[in-house]
Structure 1
């Protein structure tokens, strides 16, 4: 069966949120999702969208998604694309949906003049690492991701505990 890729529309929000929850469970963080349909409505389709989604479908059924947004490189002086999440339902893995989503996202990057498409992968997720290597992705081992959240974020902002 043919896989189709299309941009998400507001009616897709429940599916997107379901996929996000399924991905969180796969990544061993099932209770970490705080997002709501209203939050996705604002973030994806509000007056100043923060991200975009491509959906993969087969036989009229959504089987995966890629959520992405623009970054900016001071070194290149141009925007790039950051792939926040790529997810294909377990029963559709191996169908080519992940590759089709990546290919479509690469085309978006080229169409928009973006010299980079980047993302992170959990170091234990061997199937994903193998998949990305097969697509030509290279690890950026000299860089580490840093994150500040919660109380540490408030302290950094100078807010009292």
Structure 2
């Protein structure tokens, strides 16, 4: 079953985020706290949304965190899927597909025209799964990121003062 996350789901979502980061060999990069997740998902001005996948006992076994984007070319919103994760023991049972199906349904229902996400180049099982859904890689774009010290340097560049 797929449902919107509730504030009560925050602890398990936080645990699942850490599991995903560990799988992606990046656990030391996780800084998000449960309080930050609560604020981002359920605060006065939510920055993101979450859905959870549950098993037959109603235990949360997966999640998707997403936020709205905007396409200047299409003139409408889209969804950027930040994370999708299903615990290893529950993979292959349709929960990952159900999470993506729910986000696709939201896009269609609200008139959004894109559902986008990124995947690590080495994550062949995920790539195969996404391609089985008819998703296509955007190989003509390269993602860039500023964080930590580089972000601070960019914010304090002389031409911005």
Shift of 1:159: 5.9
Q: Any runs of at least 4 consecutive aligned residues in structure 1 with deviations exceeding 2 A, and if so which? A: none
- Counterparts of 1:23-62 in structure 2 under 5 Å? 23-59=20-56, 60-62=58-60
Higher helix share: 2
Unaligned runs of 5+ in 1: none
Structure-1 residue corresponding to 2:129: 131
Structure-2 residue corresponding to 1:151: 149
Structure-2 residue corresponding to 1:72: 70
- Counterparts of 1:85-104 in structure 2 under 5 Å? 85-104=83-102
Shift of 1:67: 0.5
Distance between the aligned counterparts of 2:25 and 2:152, measured in 1?
27
Shift of 1:63: 1.0
Distance between the aligned counterparts of 2:147 and 2:26, measured in 1?
16
Q: How many residues align?
A: 157
Unaligned runs of 5+ in 2: none
Shift of 1:19: 0.6
